[in-house]
A and B are shown apart, each in its own frame.
Chain A
Amino acid sequence: MARLTLEGVRKVYEGGAVAVHGVDLEVADGELVVLVGPSGCGKSTTLRMIAGLESITAGRLLIDGVQVNDLPPAKRDIAMVFQTYALYPHMTVRDNMRFALRIRNMSAADVDRRITDTAQMLDIVPLLDRLPRQLSGGQRQRVAIGRAIVRQPKVFLFDEPLSNLDAKLRVATRREISRLQRRLGVTSVYVTHDQTEAMTMGDRIVVMNAGKVQQIDTPIALYERPRNLFVATFIGSPPMNVLRGTLERAASGVVFRAGKATLPVDDDRARKLAMYVGGPIVAGVRPEHVHVAPRPATAREVGGFVVDVVEPLGSETLLHARAEGQELTASLAPQPLPRPGEPVELSIDVGHLLFFDQATGEAVGA
């Protein structure tokens, strides 16, 4: 049980390349925080700095209020699960789990009891005397998790632990890690590039890009109130639609105009966006707020779209359409739809439009 604090934690490599620009983060006791972002965004580097596998250039890292910047990994009382499992290939599952405890000079009886408990919890008792190479990918990952759990560390670190598993196993293991983490109540930091994993597992999510934290929030808050265009388009699958257009004053009030679409902006929002009226702006709308005819009362039509691709997924159908330089994806209930190449009448729930500054990508008008 522990509280993990990062204060302006920064990583600059020899030669001056900045990998992490300064992360401020407080992970509460028992919380699972997910670091998510595209490859090269600094999430793994941040995790490795927490682990002590990478030195911290500037800032402070505290566990339970004690600065651990300069402690070696061995002294931080953290356990880590790696993407490649990183099981010791010459040791049986039992010895893999025993390794860290043996180094800590724990008594044989305690070690055995812990291994048995953990193996039962993870359902790997029959595997205890096998070598890693005799296990499937999924079993190896369970063992790797077991090796972390058996230590009863203050903090768990997960470095893309599901990336090497097939899709079905990934979903099952994802759920299991969530369940275990809640049950054990161990403070955890989980790194992934997969936003679905982040959304489903994290109590809170840290979205990173190009070495900078973009936003730290709960999954739903990130989804509904992204702070910038990067978060808006990174979180959510399929991603948020982005329309580039202008904000103009019409007879009826302020409107957003993009291509043939003219969407009204309510007065309250128009006031907040006053400085953008008469200039370019970016609007975002989630695919579930894009509709086909008949349109709901809250939606306004956007004309001129032609079906590009239709992807039936069973429970929903994704319709991708384009119109002179704009693209829209709609997430729809299964229904008969126009075929690719045919025109489609789309409408957008104007109440769910989000606006972003064209130059900075920051959310505006909210």
Chain B
Amino acid sequence: MMSSLSRRVLLYTALIAGALVAVFPLLWMLSASFMATGEASTYPPHLIPRAPTIAHYRDLFTRLNLGRALFNSALIALVVTALSVLINSMAGYALAKLRFRHRARVYRSLGIGLILPAQVAMLPLFLLMKELHLVNSYWGVIIPGLASIFGILLTYQYALAIPDDLLDAARVDGASELQLYRLVVLPVIAPILATLAIWTFLATWNDFMWPLIILSDDRKYTLPVAIANLVGEHVQDAELMMAGSVVTVLPVMLVFLFLQRYYIRGITAGAVK
């Protein structure tokens, strides 16, 4: 029988080891981004830059115009997040709490849609966007992200727990369905909306495939696409790539750090209730 102390020591050793494995590539990325060109690929490798430099960052934002991509990413991620949280929450709530024809059928078809890989939809989606003349536009990136099955089902699951009496009380009190949604439902499901917002922001920010497909003008590129474009031209310049990666990862890391409380609460919501 192991004592509880030695068990704790073992547990924490394992956790720290796991954390190191996860964090090391990120630290390496950060460190390498401050190294002089070529320094990251010398042998033997070293962790700390010999003469730290911000030259790569300066390059990114001046010569390579990454600021534009940063702006594009932020704009698209924010718009998608704001609109999709609104749309998904309305749909999820309606599906959970309002009685309408074919509700069960809609729910089932969402479930089926969840199984299909996103890639399957890309070609038809592209053709659709082409018909709508939205190829190579911000809206072409934004519109497909406005409703997600995951987002609808997440709010659906959470909204199921809203007592019917609460909604009826508001109706008797004179609230219209829209007032009911705005004044009662939204505040009650706010925790799950925070989760959904973070999730959507991260997913949109990190999305590579769809913006790559739909955008052709490099002035409209999002960060992941712009960075990938750099790889082609600067394949030798590992340090520059690392700086680009830092610029891409940093904002989402910050978002997650500040809001992880909500994220985790949302994921575990319902599990212990």
- CB-based contact A82/B165 at 8 Å: yes
- Interface size of A as a range: 20 to 34
- Shortest beta-carbon distance from A141 to chain B in Å: 13
Which A residues touch B187, using CB under 8 A?
90
Q: Indicate which residue in B172, B183, B184 contacts A73 across the interface (CB closer than 8 Å).
A: B172
Most B C-beta atoms less than 10 A away, residue of A74, A84, A87: A74
Q: How far is the CA of A88 from the CA of B188 in the complex (A)?
A: 9
Number of A-B contacts (CB under 8 A): 61
Q: How far is the CA of A48 from the CA of B172 in the complex (A)?
A: 10
- CB-based contact B171/A86 at 8 Å: no
**If the complex has contacts A90-B187, A103-B179, are A82 and B173 also in contact, measured as CB distance less than 8 A?**
no
- CB-based contact A86/B169 at 8 Å: yes
Q: How far is the CA of A147 from the CA of B172 in the complex (A)?
A: 11
**If the complex has contacts A74-B174, A74-B176, are A86 and B183 also in contact, measured as CB distance less than 8 A?**
no
Which residues of B (162-212) have their CB < 8 Å from a CB of A?
Answer: 163, 165-166, 168-176, 179, 183-184, 187-188
- CB-based contact B165/A74 at 8 Å: no
Considering the complex, give the chain B residue whose CB is closest to the CB of A88: B184
Which B residues touch A52, using CB under 8 A?
171-172
Q: Indicate which residue in A72, A83, A85 contacts B171 across the interface (CB closer than 8 Å).
A: A72
Considering the complex, give the chain A residue whose CB is closest to the CB of B168: A53
- Shortest beta-carbon distance from A133 to chain B in Å: 12
Contact pattern, A 346-359, Cβ under 8 Å of B = 1, otherwise 0: 00000000000000
Which A residues touch B176, using CB under 8 A?
74
A89 on interface, CB distance cutoff 8 Å: yes
- Shortest beta-carbon distance from B266 to chain A in Å: 17
- CB-based contact A103/B175 at 8 Å: yes
Q: Indicate which residue in A72, A83, A99, A100 contacts B165 across the interface (CB closer than 8 Å).
A: A83
Which A residues touch B169, using CB under 8 A?
80, 82, 86-88, 147
- CB-based contact A51/B172 at 8 Å: yes
**If the complex has contacts A86-B163, A89-B188, A90-B188, are A100 and B174 also in contact, measured as CB distance less than 8 A?**
yes
- Shortest beta-carbon distance from B184 to chain A in Å: 6
Contact pattern, A 65-82, Cβ under 8 Å of B = 1, otherwise 0: 000000011100011101
- CB-based contact A53/B183 at 8 Å: no
Q: Is the interface of B mostly helix, strand, loop or mixed?
A: helix
- CB-based contact A74/B171 at 8 Å: yes
Most A C-beta atoms less than 10 A away, residue of B166, B170, B174, B188: B174
Which B residues touch A88, using CB under 8 A?
166, 169-170, 184
Contact pattern, A 89-110, Cβ under 8 Å of B = 1, otherwise 0: 1100000000110011000000
A43 on interface, CB distance cutoff 8 Å: no
Most A C-beta atoms less than 10 A away, residue of B166, B169, B172, B183: B172
- CB-based contact B174/A103 at 8 Å: yes
Q: How far is the CA of A85 from the CA of B166 in the complex (A)?
A: 8
- Shortest beta-carbon distance from B269 to chain A in Å: 15
- CB-based contact A84/B165 at 8 Å: yes
- CB-based contact A86/B174 at 8 Å: no
Which residues of B (65-85) have their CB < 8 Å from a CB of A?
Answer: none
Contact pattern, A 135-146, Cβ under 8 Å of B = 1, otherwise 0: 000000000000
A151 on interface, CB distance cutoff 8 Å: yes
- CB-based contact B163/A84 at 8 Å: yes
Which A residues touch B174, using CB under 8 A?
73-74, 100, 103-104
**If the complex has contacts A86-B163, A86-B165, are A80 and B172 also in contact, measured as CB distance less than 8 A?**
yes
Considering the complex, give the chain A residue whose CB is closest to the CB of B167: A86
Which B residues touch A89, using CB under 8 A?
166, 188
Q: How far is the CA of A72 from the CA of B188 in the complex (A)?
A: 24
**If the complex has contacts A84-B163, A86-B163, A89-B188, are A100 and B168 also in contact, measured as CB distance less than 8 A?**
no
Q: How far is the CA of A100 from the CA of B163 in the complex (A)?
A: 19
- CB-based contact A103/B165 at 8 Å: no
Q: How far is the CA of A79 from the CA of B171 in the complex (A)?
A: 10
Most A C-beta atoms less than 10 A away, residue of B168, B169, B176: B169
- CB-based contact A103/B172 at 8 Å: no
Which A residues touch B168, using CB under 8 A?
48, 51, 53, 73, 80, 82, 86
- CB-based contact B173/A99 at 8 Å: yes
- Shortest beta-carbon distance from A92 to chain B in Å: 13
Q: How far is the CA of A89 from the CA of B187 in the complex (A)?
A: 9
Which B residues touch A80, using CB under 8 A?
168-169, 172
Contact pattern, B 212-245, Cβ under 8 Å of A = 1, otherwise 0: 0000000000000000000000000000000000
Most B C-beta atoms less than 10 A away, residue of A48, A103, A147: A103
Which B residues touch A151, using CB under 8 A?
173
Which B residues touch A51, using CB under 8 A?
168, 172
- Shortest beta-carbon distance from B176 to chain A in Å: 7
Q: How far is the CA of A73 from the CA of B170 in the complex (A)?
A: 9
Q: How far is the CA of A88 from the CA of B172 in the complex (A)?
A: 13
Q: Which residues of A contact B (CB under 8 A)?
A: 48, 51-53, 72-74, 78-80, 82-90, 99-100, 103-104, 147, 151, 157
23 contacts between A and B (CB under 8 A): A52-B172, A72-B171, A73-B168, A73-B174, A74-B174, A79-B172, A80-B169, A80-B172, A82-B168, A84-B165, A86-B165, A86-B168, A86-B169, A87-B169, A88-B170, A89-B166, A89-B188, A99-B173, A99-B175, A99-B183, A103-B173, A103-B175, A147-B173
Q: Which residues of B contact A (CB under 8 A)?
A: 163, 165-166, 168-176, 179, 183-184, 187-188
A-B complex: 4 closest residue pairs judged by Cβ atoms: A100-B173, A86-B169, A86-B165, A74-B174
